[in-house]
Each structure stands twice: as structure tokens, then as C-alpha cells.
Amino acid sequence: MAETSQKALQQQILIDDSNIPDWLLTEILQRLPVKHIFKFKCVSKRWFILISDPFFARLYSTRINTSLSTSQPWNLLFRYLYEVRIVPSSMIDTRIALKQSQDFSSPGFSLNFLPYSKHDCPIKILSSSNGLLLCCETFYWQKNYYICNPLIQQWIALPKPPKAIKSVAVGFICKDGHYEVIRFPTANYGPSNTLRLETFSSETGKWHCSIVNCPVLDYYIKTDSPVVHYNGSLHWLEFRHSKIITYDPHNGTNTGLHLMNLPDDKQSEHLSLLGVSRGRFRYFEVTDTCFGPRDLRVWVLSDYDAQRWCLEYRIKFSGSWIDEVNEFIPKDNFYIFPLALHPHEFDIVYLGYGGCLVSYNLGTRKLDVVHRNFYSHQLLAFVFSPWPTTIPQPFW
């Protein structure tokens, strides 16, 4: 009897917060990890109202930005994972590469909440924007797209595109509560200088097809390098002509795809990628020589309109590695390739090296192992907003 009364009293103490003023409860809730806050909306009607108030979101974002200075939480995500026959089954659900934030804890950070999440063929991450991910079931013949916020496990499915295309270049932009998905063929071999571009808008709930100008007849998009949204435009690496293909979805007077120059002194045709670090547009490559020492080079775009690049770093690998690397990575006959740029630090890049994912400090020449037994060549630097971006409920 006494034990039952004690349990009832404990339950009453946990539930009754009527003596706590709103300002104090708000201060308490703001100090919780963001992924837990959204779960606590279910505690009571009062908690739901407080957390759902836009004022709470602004306070939370201000506190996070103040505590983190200018750096928003982020992580590296594996974009494409492969079948169990290729990688150990224990790695199939591993989506994160760095363990640096309580909101990026595995298995808490997962995409298993999406409807298509087969154990033997994980869903593909195509792009990210403003804390949201664009995902698809397959790499080729993409038709089922999902937009999700993995921190609060909110998602929607988009209507299927109007036309089946084997391989597409995809872009994703989320801004001011609206989002767009843009796609077009990764290659063009026809005689026409136009192509079919498909755009999905959350404002209309429909796919819109348009015929736009193509800058070259025989372009080929480098699909293993993620699309980059910068200066209002989407940017894809073009392989055949060593250019960047850009598209501004909101430029009504100059529609179509456009070409942008890469650095004149670039050398790599395969081992390269685009990225943004601290608001600067950058190009990162490893010289793809078959034998001998390789160079790592990083350029920054100093003038976007004039397409002027400035070489920041050029490092020869042969004499730059620290001694402890030799304990687990063979020094001779290595294979190395670029994977990502740090979104907040100019000096740090990520590489695949000797079966490991490593971070490399361009200033100190220090290399650190981030992830062993690395099986994926596809990474995405995912930066999420201090307050999670919610996805408007579909009306289609």
C-alpha cells in the first residue's frame, strides 16, 4: 500500500508543473538537445504550446548561435551505401562518419523511419539544404523521392516525376519554408542544344517540365560529387569539358544551364569535388597520376562574376604524412581520393586513404583517422540549422 502511494506521488511530482512559470520552463527546455525537445511536445498541452511557439525557436537559435560562435552543428553523412554482400551487415545502417555531437549519435541518427529502408539496400542521400535531406530509393531510374529532417524524423514523399530517366543530375533548394527539386539528364549526346529540365515546387505540389538551353552538346555530369548551392545557383561538376554547370532556378530573364570555368591550372579529371567552407566556394582535387607522389590542391573562388580562382594550398603527399600512419596504412602503393571539405574550417579536408576515412589539416600537415574500414566514396557535409527546419505538410 505504501509502495503504491509512493509511486503515485512520484508520478504526480513528474507531471505537475503548474507551479513552474512559463519563462522558467522555457529556460529549462532550451538547454535540452534539439532532437529531444521535439519528442517532449507530447508531454502535455502546455509543453506543446511552449515548444511550438516561434518565440521559443528564435530563443533557441540565438542561444545555440551564441554558444557556437559562427559554427552550426554538422556532420559527414554516407550518401550511398551498398548491399550486404559488399559491406558487413553491421555497417549497413551507419550513416554518420563523425561522432562530434549528441544530436548525431548512432543509432539515434538514422533514416530507418523512411518508408523505403530495406536492410540489404539502404536509401540514397542525394542532397541537403537548410537542415533537410533529399533522398531516393535508387541511384538509377529515380522515381520515388523523399524529403526529410532526420533529427526530428519528419518526412514527406514527392509525387513521381513525369518521365523515367536512367541517370539524372539532381538539385535541392529549401528556403523560406518552400523547397524545390530540380533534375535533368546527366549526359547529352544529341544534336540539339536544348534539354528537358524538370522542377518540383512545394508551392504548386507538381512537377513542371521545361525546355532550356544547354551550354554544350555533349556534356557529362560528375555524379559522385554532390551538387553545391551557392550564390543562388546550383553547381555540378562537368566531366567531359572540365567545367562547372550552373543553374539559377529563380533567374527569369536568363533561363537555362550555364558553364563556369574551373581553375586554369587544375590537373585532375576524376579525383575532384566542389564545396563551401565558411561561405567561400572552393574546388578540391588530388592529381590522378597512376604512380608516384600525388598533389593535393585547393582553390577558392575569389571573384564569382569574373570566375577568378585563387590557389590556396598545394601539398605533395610523399613527404607530408606523420609517422603513426605507417602503423596501419601501407606507405607504398596507396590510393587516395578527396571526399569532402570542412564547412567551417578552411584548413581541414577529408580524404579516403588506405581503406580509411581520414581528416587532413592543410596547415599543420597532420592526418587523423576518422573512420576505419571505409567502404563508401560518397560523402555529404550536412549542416543543420540551430532550430530544425519543419517540412510543410503536402496538399497534393
For residues 148 and 151, the model is more confident at: 148
Say if residues 143 and 181 touch (Cβ distance below 8 Å): no
Q: Residue 394 gets which letter from DSSP?
A: P
Predicted local confidence at residue 85, as pLDDT: 41
> For the purposes of burial, counting CB atoms within 10 Å of the CB of 375, is it exposed (0-12), middle (13-18) or buried (19 or more)?
middle
pLDDT range class, residue 160, cuts 50, 70, 90: very high
- CA gap 200, 159 in Å, rounded: 9
Predicted confidence (pLDDT) at residue 83 exceeds the cutoff of 80:
no
- CA gap 346, 272 in Å, rounded: 17
> What percent of the chain shows pLDDT beyond 70?
78
Predicted local confidence at residue 328, as pLDDT: 43
What Å distances lie between residue 151 and 107, 278, 364, 389, CA to CA? 12, 23, 34, 10
- CA gap 118, 145 in Å, rounded: 15
What Å distances lie between residue 134 and 34, 171, 340, CA to CA? 21, 9, 18
What pLDDT digit, counting tens, does each position of 176-215 carry? 889 999 999 999 877 778 899 999 999 999 999 999 988 8
- CA gap 277, 287 in Å, rounded: 21
Q: Which residues are CB-neighbours of 269 under 8 A, at least 6 positions away?
A: 239, 242, 288
Cell numbers 539524372 correspond to 168
Which helix (H) or strand (E) covers residue 179, if one does?
A: strand 178-185
pLDDT range class, residue 371, cuts 50, 70, 90: confident
Predicted confidence (pLDDT) at residue 320 exceeds the cutoff of 90:
no
Among 277, 361, 275, 377, residue whose Cα is nearest residue 285: 275
Q: What are phi and psi of 376, to 5 degrees?
A: -115, 135
Mean pLDDT of 87-108: 54
Number of alpha carbons in the 13 Å side-chain half-sphere of residue 243 = 14
Cis amide linkage into residue 215, ω under 30° from 0: no
Cell of 365: 600537415
Predicted local confidence at residue 17, as pLDDT: 80
- CA gap 69, 113 in Å, rounded: 32
Q: What is the mean pLDDT of the chain?
A: 80
Q: Residue 290 gets which letter from DSSP?
A: S
Q: Residue 23 gets which letter from DSSP?
A: H
- CA gap 242, 240 in Å, rounded: 6
Cell numbers 533534375 correspond to 183
Q: Which residues are CB-neighbours of 317 under 8 A, at least 6 positions away?
A: 293, 294, 295, 296, 336
**Residues forming beta bridges with residue 139, ordered by sequence position:** none
Predicted local confidence at residue 86, as pLDDT: 41
Amino acid letter, residue 221: I
Say if residues 196 and 182 touch (Cβ distance below 8 Å): no
Its pTM surpasses 0.85? no
Predicted confidence (pLDDT) at residue 306 exceeds the cutoff of 90:
yes
Predicted local confidence at residue 115, as pLDDT: 83
Say if residues 348 and 71 touch (Cβ distance below 8 Å): no
Hey, which of 61-75, 244-258, 301-315 has the most confident mean pLDDT? Answer: 301-315
Predicted local confidence at residue 246, as pLDDT: 96
Cell numbers 505504501 correspond to 2
Sheet with strand 154-157: strands edge to edge: 124-129, 132-136, 145-149, 154-157
